[in-house]
Amino acid sequence: MPQRPYVIDEMISAKQIAARIEELAGEIRHEFADTDKLVVVGLLRGSFVFIADLVRELDLPVEVDFLEASSYGNATESSREVRILKDLRGEIAGRDVLVVEDIVDTGYTLSHVKHLLDGRQPRKMKIIALLDKPARREVEMQADWTGFTIPDEFVVGYGIDFAQRNRNLPFIGKVRFTD
């Protein structure tokens, strides 16, 4: 399918993201101050940039693991089916876990993942999402920490793709179609 022409307008700058991550990392450090070793779980693929920046601000003993869940195809609309494409490598029973997500949209991905990981009985599990689009929510889901609450715009960059492109933009941009 040919791609509609579009441009990307900057919405949240790399500097704003870095400043917010520093703030959030302070709160997370406080929350997990007594942890032995925090398991930081990134949800692939969208969170790979966020988790990389976040763990480097944490200054806590961490283990990093990844889980891949998918609710979108290459389209802009999410489907309701959430599939686990790649599971964690490690066990989380009795551990402290921080789930790192790039964006909460309908909420299906996170609610599915939360339910799945809760069933493995971690000692404590918290969720951080860089972006939250509450206007799109279809199931009740709220991260414990949110970087930025955004309007219902189609966003890309800082790990988030548009048809698998633009994940490497250092900022969060808004897609504007020009046709």
Catalytic residue ranges: 105
- The contact set with ligand PRP (CB under 6 A) reads 43-46, 70-72, 78, 101-109, 161
Shortest Å, Cβ 113 to ligand PRP = 8
Nearer to ligand PRP, 61 or 73 (CB): 73
In contact, 48 and 68? CB cutoff 8 Å: no
Residue whose Cβ sits closest to ligand PRP? 46
Q: Angle, to 10 degrees, between the axis of helix 14-31 and the axis of helix 48-58?
A: 50
Shortest Å, Cβ 129 to ligand PRP = 9
Alpha-carbon gap, residue 72 to 109, rounded angstroms? 10
Nearer to ligand PRP, 153 or 161 (CB): 161
Shortest Å, Cβ 54 to ligand PRP = 15
Nearer to ligand PRP, 60 or 145 (CB): 145
Can you say whether the dihedral through the CA atoms of 143, 145, 151, 157 is positive or negative? Answer: negative
164: left (phi over 0), alpha (psi -120 to 50) or beta: left
